[in-house]
Structure 1
Amino acid sequence: MRLTRVTLFFLALIIGFGFYRLFDFLLDDIEAQTFQATEEVMVDTAHVMAGMIENELKEGKEQDIRLLRGAFSRAQSHTLEAKIHKHTKTRIGLNAYLTDSKGIVIFDSDNGRREGQDLSGYNDVLRTLNGGYGARSSREDDNNPDSSILYVAAPVKSDDTIIAVLTIYKPQADVLNFITDRRRDILTAILSIGGGVILLTGAVFIWLFQPIGRLTCYARSISKGERLPIPSLGKGKEVNTLGKALHNMRETLEGRRYVENYVSTLTHELKSPMAAIKGAAELLEEDMPADKRQRFLTNIQRETARSESLIKDLLRLVELERKPHLEHKRSINLTRLCHEITNECSHRLIVKNLSLKCTFQESIHITGDTMMLRLALINLLDNAIGFSPNDKVIMFKLKKSNTHVQVSITDQGLGLPDYAKKRVFEHFYSLTRPGSDQKGTGLGLPLVREAIKLHGGEVSLENHPSGGCVATILIPHSGS
């Protein structure tokens, strides 16, 4: 899933960068648009006010600015409570000054503080006197960017001659609150949309790639020879179709491998007993003493029994290996099952005069398949009996820890030779029983391993420090 996480990270990074660029553009654009809209209104206002005073100034009353002074005085005395986009406006933020044809201020609505000043060098006055569009933005305090004031001028004409310039001005701080609000709204919207897109993308990745990750683990388990059930893949049609196709492919390939592998192996393993039977049968056609004839008949019976046992064990092993999981699980009293197995094997112990020392913890229960566990335990006990010299002791123990149930069977035989330690669980691998030239089918321990694996456990066969072998089974309490 590392590729999924990397892809999701880069996708989130790209989306985040895109929204950051959008946010940056919108923030810059909202400020520019707000000031542009304010300036556009100020242009109209300046020209309307200039037109209102043109008649007064045309009559030569250049110093008679009572109209402007009275208008601003009355307006500034008004009580305002205008609610504009979450803000309440309580005072007039618009002022004006009037300059003569030389750029000298003859009226300033801001308590006359600019009156008498020469503003002919400022863009609003200079450009208007020259017949252009006059406007500027200047700071009252050079160190404070929020102290900027926007100035927009309009010409006052007599016929076609500019006789004065009317400039209206407004602090940019008056509109900063609106800009701040709009920025906050834009930021909230972008974060909400961006977060939603990232969450939705993440959800889609999880919905799609988590099942693919489970299928990847499932495929890896197949390559390791594990038989896990097909994982839960949610409700997605495509991924479930892929999962079923993978499961069917696995069953098909495994079926082919099983047939090829086991037919080949069974053919090889049956060659020896068939050859022995054939040879004995041919010899029986000749005249021979009765004791010799009986010996050949015994060989035929022994090899026939071995062939039957081989086929029976192979069929059991194939059945176990084809099971992906336990199909019929129930609560098993493992203590009672171990007692039953010791009783079933008692006759074999008597033949070799072996003693079986049992140490079973009482009332141990697990969940599993009784027949499989019986088969596994009988095989291990049969091995211990088969590889134990006469007159020895076999230890059979059952105990429970916090997490597992442990079964151990220890014999006092010769132990495993070094060359066999890594091969004892291979199919058809077997060792000669002590005191004879006979071998087992080589399928007993693979049967045990498959049965225990289906219960979620593990089995091991190792040499005991004091001699002999110890077979150990560990099964989780849940039994699966």
Structure 2
Amino acid sequence: MKFDITAPMRITRIVVFLVVYITALGFYSLYRNLTDSLEAQTFQATEEVMVETAHIFAAHIETLVDDSNSIDPEALAPSFNKAKRHEFIADIFGHEKTTIGLGYYLTDDKGIILYDSDRPNRIGKDFSDFNDVHLALKDEYAVRSSRDDESNSTSSILYVASPIKNSQGNILGVLSLYKPQNDVRPFIERRHRSILLALALIGTGIAAFTIAVFVWLFRPLGKLTEYARAITRGERPRYPKLGKGREANTLGRALRDMRASLDGRRYMEQYTQMLTHELKSPIAAIQGASELLQEEMPPEQRAKFLANIRQETQRSTDIIDGLLKLSRLEAKDALLQLHPIDPLTLLNESAKCVQVRLTPKNLTLQIESHAHSPLMGETMMLETAIINLLENAIEFSPHASTIHLTITESEKDHSISVRDHGPGLADFAQERAFEHFFSLRENGKGSGLGLVFVKEVANLHSGEASLHNHPEGGAIATLILPKSA
């Protein structure tokens, strides 16, 4: 069964989409329910107050009814008009009210309007078919809501009526209070804004929490996923920075430990196989020479076999030492500390270590530095890598020739190159130059690990190593170290 490492991320996106969708739907439903009930509750409260007021006004008019059972049309007019002229400022839950929005009209027992406080043009009109008057004349609860303009929903007016009775309980007329719904609309709109603000704050909190979860958890998981993919591709990626999230770091450490364990087993198996394979040749040579030394032979031939034993012993030692250094290097995920290094000093220190090897072939080492800013890296590793490149160049350089050790600088990186004037490389050698134990040195003198070491140093510095033929002859090895490392 093939494991798809991208599946968890796809599931995460689907879950996030569902959470966002459900949350948005929930917010919309909550907003609709709150605003719908808000209008209903506001108008209910207004209606409840108007019912009481209508009955109080009707009772007041009833106290003024004479024996003729006639209603004084202007019984409330003086008080009502005076109240309309009152100057006041009422701060009602943040809404400033300065005028009275309540009006009324009186009808007789036939539903004909006798008086209207705000709309005198309605006096004399028959309102008996309107619910407030029609129901009040039947002594029932009387209320209606009508629009002045049918095309405008905000022109609605709420009417609440109360019958006016004489002492015998006969209905003499109707008092109907009316109030434009726009008079209470500011309260509704203010509550709308309050609800929207509250929902916005809650939504912002949820969004901030979601973003924090992504930054704290999912983003590190994405980095770990890419880290795992790189390992799957056979690369040696750096362990990513996961922030301070405990969960992601716990998972990251477990993944890193698992990788280290698997790498340890793989390296052990790989290096055991490589060491066994590479030591067969020198051990066989040593064994053969030692067996021949047991026989009688001329001193010159005996000295030759002893030299072979020493050479093969040294070669075995070089292989073992090289493998140990390389295994320690390959076990590193990244360099813990990078130090600023002066470019010219790095080249000069590396050159000192190979100076003694230049003399037998009368070679000249020319050092050039065209870098002005320090490079960031681990000094001992870089020196060892440069020394390996110089030793290769010395090995293949003709007598009395020059080796060029140069460092240059660009905006993005430092480039260290070692060029010789030797025969150059065959095409197949360029392709295999950085393979373990591959060597073109005569008589198998090399361990075949020097260039592998250089490549690992480059990887740890997030750089590159290359080896190819120079257009003007010879070979040139290049070590590129990015400044961002």
| Whole-Å separation in 1 of the counterparts to 2:351 and 2:283 | 34
Partner of 1:352: 361
Using the alignment, how far apart are the partners of 2:448 and 2:143 within structure 1? 102
Cα distance change of structure 1 residues 72 and 349 upon mapping to structure 2, 3 Å threshold: closer
Q: 1:27 to 1:386 in 2, by over 3 A?
A: same
Task: Provide the residue aligned with 2:55 in structure 1.
Answer: 47
Give the unaligned 5+ runs of structure 1: none
Kindly indicate whether residue 255 of structure 2 is the aligned counterpart of residue 257 of structure 1: no
> Is 1:230–1:247's contact at 8 Å kept on the other side of the alignment?
no
Report the secondary structure of 1:67's partner residue.
coil
Q: Does 1:36 align with 2:41?
A: no
Deviations 1:438-479 (A, max 9, x none): 35211110111222333343221112123321101122457x
Q: Is the 8 A contact 2:289 2:306 kept in 1?
A: yes
**Comparing 28-37 and 124-133, the one that deviates more:** 124-133
Match for residue 241 of structure 2?
231
1:473 aligned partner: 479
Q: CA deviation at 1:340?
A: 4.3
Match of residue 3 from structure 2: none
1:122 corresponds to 2:133: no
The Cα offsets for residues 137-183 of structure 1, whole Å up to 9 and x where unpaired, read as 22223444333221112223454543422211122222122222222
* Counterpart-to-counterpart distance in 2, 1:345 and 1:477: 27
Pair 1:20-2:28 in alignment: yes
- The CA deviation at 1:390 is 4.0
Specify whether residues 176 and 437 from structure 1 end up closer, same or farther in structure 2 by C-alpha distance, changes over 3 A only: same
The correspondence for 2:100, drawn from 89, 92, 114, is 92
Identity of aligned residues (%): 48
SS of aligned partner of 1:149: strand
The separation in 1 between residues aligned to 2:96 and 2:374, in whole angstroms, is 78
Distance (whole Å) between structure 1 residues aligned to residue 120 and residue 364 of structure 2: 123
Contact in 2 for aligned 1:156/1:162 (Cα 8 Å)? yes
Moved more, 22-31 or 337-346: 337-346
- Structure 2: where are the runs of 5+ without partners? 1-5
User: 1:460, 1:473 within 8 Å by CA — same for their partners in 2?
Assistant: yes
Query: In the TM superposition, what is the alpha-carbon distance from 1:277 to its structure 2 partner?
Result: 1.6
2:76 corresponds to 1:72:
no
**One-letter amino acid of the structure 2 residue matched with residue 359 of structure 1:** E
- Pick from 109, 112, 134 the counterpart of residue 101 of structure 1: 109
Question: Which residue, out of 430, 445, 448, partners 2:454?
Answer: 448
| Partner-residue secondary structure (3-state), 2:129 | coil
Of the candidates 412, 419, 431, which is equivalent to residue 421 of structure 2?
Answer: 412
Distance 2:113 2:372 in 1: 109
Counterpart CA distance in 2 for 1:364 and 1:40 is 84
Contact 1:39 1:152 in 2 (8 A): yes
Q: Does 1:301 align with 2:328?
A: no
**Mapped partners of 1:415, 1:105: distance in 2:** 117
Read off the aligned partner of 2:275 and give its amino acid letter: L
* Residue pair 2:217, 2:247 contacting (<8 A) in 1 also: no
Match of 2:202 among 170, 183, 193: 193
Bigger Cα displacement from structure 2, 322-331 vs 39-48: 322-331
State the partner residue of 2:322. Answer: 313
1:62 to 2:70 alignment: yes
Consecutive aligned runs of 4 or more in structure 1 exceeding 6 Å deviation: none
Counterpart Cα distance in 2 of 1:233 and 1:362: 35
Deviation, 1:382, is: 1.2
1:56 shift after superposition: 4.7
Choose from 334, 339, 344 the match for 1:335: 344
Is 1:280 the counterpart of 2:289 in the alignment? yes
Which of 177, 200, 206 aligns to 1:168? It is 177
Q: What secondary structure sits across from 1:107 in the alignment?
A: strand
| Cα separation, 1, equivalents of 2:275 and 2:389 | 23
**How much does 1:78 deviate?**
4.0
Change (3 A) 1:147 1:362: closer
Q: Matched residue of 1:240: which SS?
A: helix
Quickly say closer, same or farther: Cα 1:55–1:393, change in 2 above 3 A.
Answer: closer
Partner SS for 1:345: helix
After superposition, the C-alpha distances for 1:57-81 in whole angstroms (9 at most, x for unaligned) are 5733324345334443444454444
Q: Are residues 231 and 76 of structure 1, via their aligned partners in 2, closer, same or farther at CA, if it must alter by over 3 Å?
A: closer
Preserved contact between residue 50 and residue 156 of structure 1 (Cα < 8 Å): yes
C-alpha contact (below 8 Å) 2:361/2:400 kept by paired residues: yes
Q: 1:172 to 1:280 in 2, by over 3 A?
A: same
State the shift of 1:408 in Å. 1.2
Q: Take 2:335 and 2:205, find their aligned partners in 1: how far apart are those partners?
A: 44
In structure 1, how many angstroms separate the alpha carbons of the residues matched to 2:477 and 2:13? 44
Stretch deviating more after TM superposition (252-261 or 363-372): 363-372
Q: 1:6 offset after TM fit, Å?
A: 7.0
Which range moves more in the overlay, 373-382 or 344-353?
344-353
Deviations 1:19-61 (A, max 9, x none): 2332233222222211111112212222233333345557333
Q: Distance in 1 between matches of 2:81 and 2:478?
A: 105
Shift, 1:401, TM fit = 3.4
| Maintained 8 Å contact 2:61/2:71 | no
Deviation at 1:369, TM superposition (A): 3.3
Whole-angstrom distance in 1 between the partners of 2:75 and 2:197: 48
Task: Report Cα offsets for 1:87-112 as digits up to 9, x if no partner.
Answer: 44333322222222222122323364
- Specify whether residues 99 and 365 from structure 1 end up closer, same or farther in structure 2 by C-alpha distance, changes over 3 A only: closer
In 2, the alpha carbon distance for the partners of 1:445 and 1:407 equals 14
CA distance in 1, matches of 2:54, 2:389: 107
Counterpart Cα distance in 2 of 1:53 and 1:338: 113
- Give yes or no for contact 1:358–1:397 (8 Å, CA) kept in 2: yes
TM-score normalised over the length of structure 2: 0.87
Cα drift, residue 326 of structure 1: 3.7
Is structure 2 residue 183 aligned with structure 1 residue 177?
no
What are the superposed Cα offsets for residues 276-305 of structure 1, whole Å, 9 maximum, x if unpaired?
A: 222222233333444433333332222112
Which digits, 9 at most, give the CA deviation of each residue in 1:354-398, with x for residues without a partner? 444443448774343333222211211111122234454433223
- State the Cα deviation string for residues 314-364 of structure 1 (Å, max 9, x = none): 111112222334457555444234334445434433433444444344877
Counterpart CA distance in 1 for 2:142 and 2:92 is 29
